[in-house]
Structure formats: structure tokens, C-alpha cells
Amino acid sequence: MCGIAGFCNLNTDYTRNSEYWHQILVDMRKSVSHRGRDNTGEYLRRNVGLGHTRLAIRDLCFGAQPIVRNISGKEYVIVYNGEIYNTDELTPELKREGFVFETTTDTEVILYAYIHHGIDFVSRLNGIFAFAIWDEACERLVLYRDRLGVKPLFYTIKDDTLVFGSEIKALFCFPAVKPEIDIGGLREIFGVGPARTPGNGVFKGINEIKPGHYAVFSKEGFNVKRYWELESRPHTDSYEETVDKVSFLVRDAVKRQMVSDVPVCSFLSGGIDSSIVTAVASGYLSGFGLKLNTFSFDFKDNGIYFKSNSFQPERDRPYVDIMLSEYNLNHTYLECDECLLADLLFDVVDAKDLPGMADIDASLLYFCRLVKAHNKVALTGECADEIFGGYPWFYRNELLWTDGFPWSRDISARTLLLTDDFVKELNLDEYVSERYSDSLKSVPFLEGESPADKRRREITYLNIKWFMQTLLDRMDRASMYSGLEARVPFADHRIIEYVFNVPWDMKLKDGVEKSLLREACKDLLPRKLLYRKKSPYPKTYHPNYERLLSQMFTDILNDPNSPIVSLVDKNKAMIFLKFPSEYGKPWFGQLMAAPQLLAYMIQVNYWLEKYSLL
């Protein structure tokens, strides 16, 4: 993967002060240099500047960017972050049309495909991507983002200038763009965070290209077009045909994502999703006489302090060991202690430019840092639960029929520590309700669907558009902060398009959650692992972690210069700190309970302070 950044103003001549604007490009590129330090490059012309920092995965020697090609006297330029998995299918036609390839990168394939097929060519791509193409012939800059939003792409428009980057921090390197927050941004933080409304960058004036969209900046202005969306179609395949199709799609997606000029590893949690990915990847490599590197994550002393609950019924380690007895893997167990975890709460805000999933993000950032010491590319099991119905809100009625986002039912938990006046100003009930109802308006239904089928389609749609995006954001920032490319085979759009329309009784056959995926991959996993209960990403249960958080938050409250003090009711906060944690009642997802609320508030304070927002 890589980092991209740039700016465009069709009424400005950047070459008149080229040294200054070139340095701005360098500063923007440096701000995201953690995403790849193998090569760098800048492109500066009259109306546009593009910068790139590269993590070399394919064509290690000749794949530097920006890539510039001159066609009929006009320049076409690309800066790109991502991986395309169907280049072998796209390249032959381009060669027949006379395009001469100077590299073996997917970057060059994308640029030639744009030149040959036109602006809507993006629908031909299978992959994860965010890229910008400067088209001198048409005098336009086009920003593209992949269908599911695996790769980020933020932008803002200031004084007729489009400024963009892989991460928000790149935008703040441009002179006219400063970090600001308004009430809308605070509502995002306290109302839907750590999720974000699609396209919302939280900071005032900062936006993100939505998944499945591209944007054209030209003399006609800034225009956004959707090129992909979930569609509802009748499912006519039998159960046996459905199982066969899912089996093929999953295996094909994993094999396609093994493409790389550097070794690929996998995250092996012991859950069925990562185990399926690992099994397919291991089988693929064994055909070349190679062994797959795998990594599992846990927390120091979780064997002692783990507490089973309805959301996290058991530990993962025993199931990792089952996979190791079944497959010939080169495995590494990774651990994080509670002290380091608390310290990393700040690093992960630096990585994301926003508060996030607290220690869940922080631990993933740490583990990715350790994995990067061994591999540049990792396969993950993310996104299977959103697609195949693995979360409890798909099948537990009290969650399924919630009038709101099912992973964030209790809005009141989010405001427990805030002053009454601030809570009134936020008006979160109305804000969150509007975000929820707006999303439901876009759900595509089939005529004649039962209320239960319609509701599950709504839940699936919301999960893909909201919850899955939050996890993909987490994975991208945590991995790319150390220059590790994380790939997500289950986010292959072919899988999502197909499974979105599979009836629920096939996904939950005989009352077994994710039974369709289990049946499609039953030959890959030992039975004991195949039918284990879902247990989400691990978190620490060490009591010292809560003590550390309590002390950190108390120190914040006692410092009058802490920006969050003006938002928090100190008496409420001190009462909250005296009560024991309830791990079984998360306020976001399945993992974020009372300790994570404290950690989130610590992150919010650091974020407000870092950007001088209050």
C-alpha cells in the first residue's frame, strides 16, 4: 500500500512559485510516510500537484509513483494506494490496443485502463484502492475509492482549491486548511463515534470520498458520481448451488489476494473467518513448497483474568492451537500488556487523526507493528460477520428489532460523563435518529419480502455501510501506521453482492449462525473449530488496566487546562469511577464497555488538545 496526497486549482499557476509548492507536496507526503517508505515522488504542473510515498509490494524496482504517461501530447498522471487483483484479466486487451507497459505494477494497468475505457472504467476493477488521476487532456482531477471503502481518501475544497490525501493529517499540511470543529463534528464524536457518518471527516469542512464513488474536479466544479451500490435481486440458486458458489468465491478471493512480490502472511485469531483465510492461503503456498507465516494476538495474563460473557464466551488461544495441529504453519504468538496498551491510546489517535475504538485500536496498532517486522502483507478475516450474519444483532430479537443502530443501542451511556448543558446542546437522540433514518431510506428491498426479511436486509445494509466501515478504518490506520498492508478477502465485492441476496434461512440454517459460510468451507477446518461460537477480537481483562485508565482520567479532570474539562461533569465522572465495570453491556459493538468509555474519553481529550479544537 501507499500514501497519496495533492491539490488542484484550475485558476492557479503553481509553477510561478514552484519551490514553495513543491515543498508543500513534500510536507503532505511526509505526513503519511508511515504508509510506505520504499520510494517517494512528486508531480507539479501549472494547475496540479501530486505526491506519493510507496510501500513496494509489486514490481519492487520500477513501480515508483507518480506514473506519468504522455498520449498525443497530453499528460496522464496517477498516484495510487491499493491492490488490484484482476490485472491479468485487464492487461491483454490494453496490450492489443497498443499500450506499452514499462512496469509490472497494477498502477500502470489502472492508468491505461482509464485512458482506454474512460472515466467509468473503475467498475472493471477488482481490488482495494484509492487513487487520483490528473487528465491534462480534459483538464480534470478524478478521485476514486473502492466499492467497500477499504482504502481511505479524504478531501476538502478551500478557495476553489481541491486538497486531498490518504489521511486527514495530509490535508492540514496545506496552508489554507486548518483543524476546526463545530457542533456537527462533536455530535459525530459523541453520538456515533467511533463510527462516522459515510463521507463525514468530523473536522469542519473535511470530507471523505464515499465507498463506491468517484469525484471529478474540473472547470464545471466538483461533481461526485456513484459507480457501485448494493442491489437486491431474487435468489434463485438452490441451497446446494449457493454453498458451491460461496465456496468458490471465498477461495478465489483469497487466492487472488495472494498476488505479491513479497511474502504474504495471515492473522490467525482462532475464529472461523481468519482460519478459513489461513487454510486457503496455506494450501496455495504449499503448492509452491512454501510455508505461511501466521500471527495470533492476546493480552498478558488473560488466561487468569478472562471473564466469559454473552458477547465474548471463550478465549481464542485453544482454537489457534487446533489450526496449528492441522496445518503446517510458521506461527508466532503475540502479546500486549496493560501498561503498554494504555500508553498506545495516544499513538492510535495520531494514526487515525480521530478518537477510535480505544484499546481495541491501540492493541491492533501494536500487533501490526510487530507483524511488520516479519512481513509486509497480511491477510485478515475482517468483514465476514457483516456479510454472513455473524453478529448477535442478526439473530437476537432484542437487538434485531432495535429502533436504531444495533451495535450502539444505548445512547445514554455515551453522555454519562458530560455536563447537562452540553448534552442538551448535542441533542444526540435527534442527530443519531436522523443518521439512522437517512441510511434506511437507501436500503434496496425486494417486492413481497416479509417484515423479518426486510429487517435483516436493513441490518445487513447498515452493517456494510457503517459497522464494517469502522472496522476497515481501524484496520487500515493500525496496519499502515507501520507500513503493513492488510488485505480483506471477504470484502471482495463479488462475495458481498452474492451473499447480500441469499435468504436468511440459508445463512442461519438449522439455527446455526453463519451456517452458510461454515458449510461452504467445512472441508478446510477441524469440526471443533468449524462450529465454535463467535468470539470477537480479544481485549484485556486485566484489572490493572482499569486502574491505569481511572488514574489517567482523574489526572485529566484535575488539570484545568484539559480541554475536555469544559464538557465533562466532574461529579458524574467521579461517581462513575467508583463503580465496578460491566463487561457484558457494551455501548459500541461487542467490546466497548465501561473501561473503553474511559479510554475513549481519554482519547477525545488528547485529540482536542492536539488540534487545539476547544
Task: Report which secondary-structure segment, H or E, holds 324.
Answer: helix 317-326
CATH of 2-226, one of 3.60.20.10, 2.60.120.10, 3.30.465.10, 3.40.50.410: 3.60.20.10
* Alpha-carbon span 544 to 239, nearest angstrom: 50
Mean pLDDT of 360-380: 96
DSSP state letters, 30-48? HHTGGG--SEEEEEE-SSE
Q: What is the mean pLDDT of residues 290-307?
A: 85
Mean pLDDT of the chain: 94
pLDDT in tens, 382-399: 999 999 999 999 999 989
Tell me if 360 sits within 8 A of 344, measured CB to CB: no
Give the mean model confidence (pLDDT) for residues 507-530: 95
Distance CA 518, CA 243 (A): 9
Alpha carbon distance 94, 111 (integer Å): 11
User: What is the share, in percent, of the chain residues with pLDDT greater than 90?
Assistant: 87
- Report H helices in 397-526: 397-400, 420-426, 428-440, 451-462, 468-480, 493-499, 504-507, 515-520
204 pLDDT higher than 70: yes
Q: Is the pLDDT of residue 249 over 70?
A: yes
Distance CA 25, CA 43 (A): 9
Indicate whether 314 pLDDT > 80. Answer: no
Q: Tell me how far apart the alpha carbons of residues 21 and 40 are, in angstroms, rounded to a whole number.
A: 16
Q: What is the DSSP string of 95-127?
A: HHTTPPPSS--HHHHHHHHHHHH-GGGGGG--E
Omega before 66 within 30 of 0, i.e. cis:
yes
pLDDT score of 124: 98
Grid coordinates representing 513 are 449462525
Q: What is the mean pLDDT of residues 328-356?
A: 96
Q: Which three cell numbers stand for residue 569?
A: 461533569
Domain parsing of the chain, residue ranges: 2-226, 239-531
CATH number of 239-531: 3.40.50.620
Which pLDDT band holds residue 581 (cuts at 50, 70, 90)?
A: low
218-237 pLDDT tens trace: 999 999 999 999 999 999 99
Residue 69's CB is within 10 A of a number of other CB atoms, namely: 16
What confidence tens digit (pLDDT) does each residue in 412-444 have?
Answer: 889 999 999 999 999 999 999 999 999 999 999
Label residue 541 by pLDDT band (50, 70, 90): confident
Residues contacting residue 189 through CB under 8 Å, at least 6 positions apart: 202, 354, 355, 604
pLDDT for 308 equals 62
Q: Any idea which of 296-300, 517-521, 601-605 has the lowest mean pLDDT?
A: 296-300
The predicted pLDDT at position 540 comes to: 84
Q: Using CA atoms, how far apart are residues 594 and 598, in angstroms rounded to an integer? A: 7
**Positions marked catalytic:** 2
pLDDT over threshold 70, residue 202: yes
Residue 453 burial (10 A CB sphere; 0-12, 13-18, 19+): middle
Mean pLDDT, rounded, for 89-108: 96
Per residue in 372-385, pLDDT tens? Answer: 999 999 999 999 99
Do the beta carbons of residue 81 and residue 4 sit within 8 Å? yes
Binding positions for L-glutamine: 106
Residue 305: predicted pLDDT: 63
pLDDT at position 313, please?
61
